[in-house]
């Protein structure tokens, strides 16, 4: 087994499209054992069946050997719901990939700090929330956050931001909290490389490099639609054919394989877009990040994109 900087076992919290994608590249490419945990057993079942389909597709296309696919699948196990996060106590690294909600993430990191070994790396796949804030929750009761800066529990927290769809997108953004130790940072980087990814580094600013650039772009497109400057299709087509973007800003979310559509995959749900934009706006106070009214109303209406069948496009 190839070992990514001492990481042989990985816990993944959240079996949605991001968590599942991370489990997939970790088991197949980095060849680590993965324990998958989600508070919804139904989500875990959906995720595993998607993983089976992705592996079968790669085998059918001759991209991987059948034996490699089988071994990757065997490396993935599911955490017993009754045991929960405690089951990850022996993991070398845990990656959290739940929804963009600071309070939920804080709860998870505080539990992880209490339940995991002191050298377990605790990574978050957040797309916009401060890693420093999340790290401050990973301090067990009785430990001072300030007294052992860099060597505290918070020193093992790091941002590892994957992109959707994780099996395809080549990038991972690496973000250091104020508390992150150098060792954590270099082990996390090597793990991402072992997963087959290229790594860029961003400071812990709202949205990091990726979403601080992407979200105003998407939001501007929504506002142009709202103002009636152009139709939905022409806005997307302009970016696709004029700038060679693989998909237009309103469409980011439309693409899915027929194979995958039953799992309601989408690139970014409109609720996630709104949550990220709210974090950017609250974190900077800069009006360029203020979410458009149309986006807010779409989310009010629960028109979230591919995940529930309606967004800027209609989905099967
Ligand atoms: N999961 C796994 N694999 C997938 C997939 C999925 N959801 N969707 C597509 N693929 C694979 C296909 O199986 C195919 O693989 P093969 O080469 O083995 O056949 C490959 O991707 C290409 O697929 P297609 O030919 O069907 O379609 P395409 O040419 O349109 O490519 C795409 C698909 C790569 C996703 C492309 O549309 C694209 O680059 N889209 C933009 C994606 C993007 O911008 N992602 C970032 C979102 S932002 C984010 O994630 C960060 C955040 O914080 C919000």
> Hey, which of 19, 29, 165 would you mutate to test ligand 1's pocket, going by the most ligand atoms within 8 Å of its Cβ?
165
Regarding whether 218 and 193 lie in a shared domain, the answer is: no
Regarding whether 183 and 93 lie in a shared domain, the answer is: yes
Regarding whether 234 and 149 lie in a shared domain, the answer is: no
Regarding whether 219 and 143 lie in a shared domain, the answer is: no
Q: What is the CATH number of the domain that holds 227?
A: 1.10.1040.10
Domain that holds residue 272: 210-308
Q: Which helix (H) or strand (E) holds 176?
A: strand 171-176
- Quick one: which of 2, 26, 175, 193 has its CA closest to 94? 26
245 falls within a domain? yes
Q: How many CB atoms lie within 10 A of CB 41?
A: 12
Residue 190 structure tokens: 């090597």
Q: How many CB atoms lie within 10 A of CB 66?
A: 12
Regarding whether 178 and 91 lie in a shared domain, the answer is: yes
Print pLDDT tens along the chain (316 aa).
445 568 999 999 999 989 999 999 999 999 999 999 999 999 999 999 999 999 999 999 999 999 999 999 999 999 998 899 999 999 999 999 999 999 999 999 999 999 999 999 999 999 999 999 999 999 877 776 655 444 578 999 999 999 999 999 999 999 999 999 999 999 999 999 999 999 999 999 999 999 999 999 999 999 999 999 999 999 999 999 999 999 999 988 444 333 343 223 335 788 889 999 999 999 999 999 999 999 999 999 998 877 777 888 876 6
If one counts the domains in the chain, the total is 2
Looking at residue 34, its pLDDT comes to: 98
- Quick one: which of 187, 198, 181, 245 has its CA closest to 218? 245
Residues in the chain: 316
4 falls within a domain? no
What's the CA dihedral at 51, 38, 305, 202 to 10 degrees? Answer: -90
Looking at residue 113, its pLDDT comes to: 94
Regarding whether 186 and 294 lie in a shared domain, the answer is: no
Residue nearest (by alpha carbon) to ligand 1 atom 15? 168
Close Cβ partners of 278 (under 8 Å, ≥ 6 residues apart): 291
Across the beta sheet with 33-37, what order do the strands follow? 76-78, 33-37, 9-13, 93-96, 121-124, 157-162, 171-176, 198-202
Regarding whether 189 and 44 lie in a shared domain, the answer is: yes
Looking at residue 256, its pLDDT comes to: 38
CA of 240 to the centre of ligand 1 (A): 15
- Closest approach atom of ligand 1 to CA 214: 48
Residues 51, 23 contacting (CB under 8 angstroms): yes
Catalytic residue selected from 110, 137, 161, 176? 161
- Quick one: which of 25, 72, 12 has its CA closest to 167? 25
Residue nearest (by alpha carbon) to ligand 1 atom 34? 168
- Closest approach atom of ligand 1 to CA 256: 8
1 falls within a domain? no
Question: Catalytic: 161?
Answer: yes
274 falls within a domain? yes
> Alpha-carbon distance 34 to 23, whole Å?
6
CA angle 288/267/256 to nearest 5° reads: 145
Looking at residue 139, its pLDDT comes to: 85
Looking at residue 265, its pLDDT comes to: 33
16 falls within a domain? yes
Q: Which helix (H) or strand (E) holds 217?
A: helix 208-227
Domain boundary among 137, 170, 202: 202
Does residue 285 come out as left (phi exceeding 0), alpha (psi in the -120 to 50 range) or beta?
left
Q: Residues enclosing ligand 1, CB less than 6 A?
A: 54, 61, 63, 127, 163-165, 167-169, 210-211, 246-247, 252, 255, 257, 260, 265, 267-268
Looking at residue 72, its pLDDT comes to: 98
């Amino acid at each position: 087994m190839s070992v990514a900087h001492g990481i042989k076992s990985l816990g993944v919290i959240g079996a949605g499209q991001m968590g599942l994608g991370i489990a997939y590249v970790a088991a197949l490419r980095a060849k680590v054992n993965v324990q998958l945990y989600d508070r919804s057993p139904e989500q875990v079942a959906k995720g595993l069946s998607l993983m089976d389909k992705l592996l079968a597709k790669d085998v059918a296309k001759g991209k991987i050997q059948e034996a490699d696919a089988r071994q990757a699948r065997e490396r993935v196990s599911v955490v017993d719901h009754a045991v929960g996060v405690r089951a990850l106590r022996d993991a070398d690294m845990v990656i959290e990939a739940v929804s963009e909600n600071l309070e939920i993430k804080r709860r998870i990191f505080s539990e992880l700090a209490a339940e995991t070994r002191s050298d377990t790396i605790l990574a978050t796949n957040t797309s916009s929330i401060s890693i420093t804030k999340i790290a401050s929750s990973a301090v067990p009761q009785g430990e001072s956050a300030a007294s052992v800066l860099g060597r505290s529990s918070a020193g093992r927290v790091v941002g590892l931001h994957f992109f959707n769809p994780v099996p395809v997108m080549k990038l991972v953004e690496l973000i250091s909290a104020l508390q992150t130790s150098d060792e954590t940072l270099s082990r996390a980087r090597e793990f991402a490389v072992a997963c087959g990814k290229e790594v860029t580094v961003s400071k812990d600013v709202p949205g990091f490099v990726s979403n601080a650039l992407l979200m105003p772009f998407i939001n501007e497109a929504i506002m142009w639609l709202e103002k009636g400057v152009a139709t939905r299709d022409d806005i997307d087509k302009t970016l696709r054919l004029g700038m060679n973007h693989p998909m237009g800003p309103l469409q980011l979310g439309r693409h899915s394989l027929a194979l995958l559509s039953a799992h309601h995959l989408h690139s970014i749900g409109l609720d996630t877009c709104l949550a990220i934009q709210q974090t950017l706006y609250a974190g900077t106070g800069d009006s360029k990040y203020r979410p458009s009214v149309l986006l807010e109303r779409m989310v009010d209406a629960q028109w979230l994109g591919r995940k529930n069948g309606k967004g800027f496009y209609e989905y099967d």
